Structure formats: structure tokens, C-alpha cells
Amino acid sequence: MLLWFAYHDLYTPKWSNHIFDEWMDVMLRKGVPEPEAIKRTEAVNEAFPDALVKNYEFLIKTLELPDDKDKHVLAAAIKTNANLIVTNNLKDFPEEYLSGFGLSAKEPDDFFTDIIDLNHDLSVRAFRDLVIMKKNPPYDEFHVLDIFRKNGLRNTADYLHSLI
């Protein structure tokens, strides 16, 4: 969903090599063969060439977060002058600390519902493109909405459902 919303210019994605390392680890743990995992990360970087944040590493050691492993996320956000970090891990991104950098953090479900709220038609088109491109196995819109709900995107799924 993040990629389809970005593809439709509903927001501007930014990520770091650290994020891709974490994504690669997750794919490998889930049994995705390494060549396929590499192909996926390369495809995403090719699709969004301006999304990769560079030269943020020097900031990491200057930051204070509850979990040191999250400092790279904040460093990349600061480097790119982002205003929002999307995370399921809000407790490790204290609101008061982030505000000192002009940042806030939001859970994915809230992020998506905010985007949908700003542009119903384009959000539905992005969602439908996601569904159409899901071919192995193919799913219909309602199956994808159920998957969203099972993965913590209940409000997003309900909102999209109300619009389709």
C-alpha cells in the first residue's frame, strides 16, 4: 500500500539503506530466496530513485531514542527534512523529542486514513491498482481489505470499503 500510494503521488517516500537491510532480513526470514529479495529491493529503488536518503549516518550517534536500533530512521528523516515518520513502534519515537526536529510519528493505519481523507478518488485508484497487480495468487478487493484488517489496518480497510 505504501508503494502504491507513493506511485500515485499521494505522498513522497523516503527510506535508507538501513531500512532495506531490515526489509531484506524480514524477507529472508519469511523464506523469500535471496536473489528474489535482492530483486525486490532493487525494483523499489529503481521505481523511486529519489527516495533513498544518503549521508545521514553521521547523525545517528548524536540522537537519543529509547531503542538505539531506531536512530537510523530518525537520522534519515532529519537529513531529508521529513515531517513524519510512519511506524508501528510509536513508543520508541517520543513525541516531545521528535517535535524538536519538526517531526512527528504516526501509525500506518492513521497515515493511510489521513491520505485517503485528503484524496478519496486517487486513494481508491491506488488501492485498485494494488489489487489488480496482485496476481500470485489473485485476490479481489474485499479479500485484500480483509488482509489489511488482519494486519492492523482496520480503519484503512473500513474507509476504503466505504468508498468502493
pLDDT tens for 91-106 read 999 999 999 999 999 9
C-alpha cell at 153: 489496518
Q: What is the pTM of this model?
A: 0.88
Q: Are 130 and 143 in contact (CB under 8 A)?
A: no
Each domain of the chain, given as residue ranges in start order, spans 10-106, 111-163
- At 36 the three-state DSSP class reads helix
Phi, psi torsion values for 15, nearest 5 degrees:
-150, 170
pLDDT tens for 56-74 read 999 999 999 999 999 999 9
Q: Are 128 and 137 in contact (CB under 8 A)?
A: no
pLDDT tens for 9-64 read 999 999 998 888 998 999 999 999 999 999 999 999 999 999 999 999 999 999 99
